[in-house]
Amino acid sequence: MSETEALQKRFEAALMPNYGLPPVALARGEGCRVWDADGKEYLDLFAGIAVSALGHAHPAVVDAVTAQVSKIAHTSNHYLHEPEVALAERLLSLLNTDGRVFFANSGAEANEAAIKLVRRRQGAGRPVVVAANGGFHGRTMGSLAITGKASIREPFGPFGLTSHFVPYGDEAALQAAVTAECAAVFLEPCLGEGGVVPAPEGYLRAAREACDAAGAMLVVDEVQSGIGRTGAWFAYQREGVVPDVLTLAKGLGGGLPIGACVGFGEYGGIFAKGDHGSTFGANPVSCAAALAVLDTIENQDLLANAGTVGKRLAGGMADTSHPLLKGVRGSGLWLAAVLTAESAPRVEAAARQAGFLVNAVQPDAVRLAPPLVLTAAEADEFLAAFPGIMDAAAAAAGHGTA
């Protein structure tokens, strides 16, 4: 029995079955490389669901976490500490707003805070929240209520929210749904779990206009798209709009758990003392890691790297002529290979066999969200293997290569 098989056996016996049985047991990582429990090496093009922004064991994160944990690792929300203040100030500076920040531990919790912020501001007289089909905002009861995937939402209803779902990218449907009963619109600038589906140009502007006309709040979920993933600090900035509330997580901590709910301007002052809280939110170690991530992205110009290497990766995949490949979508280092058949799990398995970690995010879409430090040479390594991966996936499905 291999080390991986032994760990899988222990996993099945000790953990709840909600994840199924993971196919790989990762033991260590360095940069964009990871090794499993049996020593097999992989190029990580998934980064733990777009989390490991600087890859694995990056010296800046290691040093920041080590220094902070040697000072104080936890304070609770009864006391403040310098890293949380510095991180909030840094985020507000990057966002160019005089708002305020609430720190949580995850994207779902950041969205829970945003939902409560909306309810606190709008009251019970506006019971409706508008969100998009295919959108994903988390799996806690509040965030799940506005997640536009029926298969994971409906088994857990009813919820304490009235959610109206509209087709993503349909401006007319969105405008029709934002009525006087609407408290807020929750949108991703690009669907993440929905398959890396960018919003049409002007969609966020249309949402902003609809919210302004109806007195609703616009909440932009950048849990997956934020912190440089698309080649910009925040994807919404390319649309020239300003949300009322922004939610962040994933790449912010570079592998450490942290989320943030940012209220812009007056929306940063809605919560009163005692309205919301988190025991572990703004954990000093996670805040120190996040500051190191932001510093490194800026100092190493990783926004430009995400744009340049992302274009190389997208272009190389798109230029691959294969009957299983329909096209490529996304931006920066956040891409999806769109397939002509529901063979994404086979592509993921074939890639893994070839030494690459990618993600079958939808039956017909394979997601790539590598660390922002991915080099052109590493992208080329995957591109050289990509035709063979597609051939192996097609063969596994019985389609052949022609």
Q: What is the pLDDT of residues 7-50, one digit of tens each?
A: 999 999 999 999 999 999 999 999 999 999 999 999 999 999 99
Residue 402's pLDDT band, with cuts at 50, 70 and 90, is very low
Q: What is the pLDDT of residue 301?
A: 98
Structure tokens at 95: 């966002």
Whether the link from the prior residue into 59 is cis, omega within 30° of 0, is: no
- Phi/psi zone of residue 103: left (φ > 0), alpha (ψ -120 to 50 degrees), beta? beta
CB 222 within 8 Å of CB 247: yes
For residue 140, count other CB atoms closer than 10 A to its CB: 17
Coil/strand/helix, residue 173: helix
Fold type of domain 61-299: Aspartate Aminotransferase; domain 2 (3.40.640)
CA atoms of 114 and 272, how far apart (whole Å): 14
Residue 399's pLDDT band, with cuts at 50, 70 and 90, is low
CB 258 within 8 Å of CB 109: no
Task: CATH 3.40.640.10 in the chain: give the residue spans.
Answer: 61-299
CA atoms of 192 and 267, how far apart (whole Å): 26
Minimum mean pLDDT range among 22-31, 123-132, 250-259: 123-132
Over residues 213-254, the pLDDT tens digits come to 999 999 999 999 999 999 999 999 988 899 999 999 999 999
CA atoms of 82 and 86, how far apart (whole Å): 6
CA atoms of 35 and 94, how far apart (whole Å): 35
Which one, of 5, 51, 29, 40, lies nearest residue 369 by Cα? Answer: 51
Alpha carbons within 13 angstroms on the beta-carbon side of residue 77 total 14
Residue type, position 271, single letter: F
Alpha carbons within 13 angstroms on the beta-carbon side of residue 355 total 14
Q: What is the pLDDT of residue 400?
A: 55
Which one, of 265, 215, 216, 269, lies nearest residue 242 by Cα? Answer: 265
Q: Per-residue pLDDT averaged across 67-83, rounded?
A: 98
Structure tokens at 138: 């988390």
Geometric angle at alpha carbon 11, from 9 and 17, rounded to 5° = 115
CA atoms of 249 and 257, how far apart (whole Å): 8
Mean per-residue pLDDT of the chain: 96
- Please report, in angstroms and rounded to a whole number, the separation of the first and last CA atoms in the chain: 38
Asked whether residue 79 carries a pLDDT value surpassing 90, the answer given is yes
Top CATH class of 3-57+301-396 equals alpha beta
Q: What is the pLDDT of residue 152?
A: 83
Task: CATH 3.90.1150.10 in the chain: give the residue spans.
Answer: 3-57+301-396
Residue 94's pLDDT band, with cuts at 50, 70 and 90, is very high
CA atoms of 65 and 344, how far apart (whole Å): 36
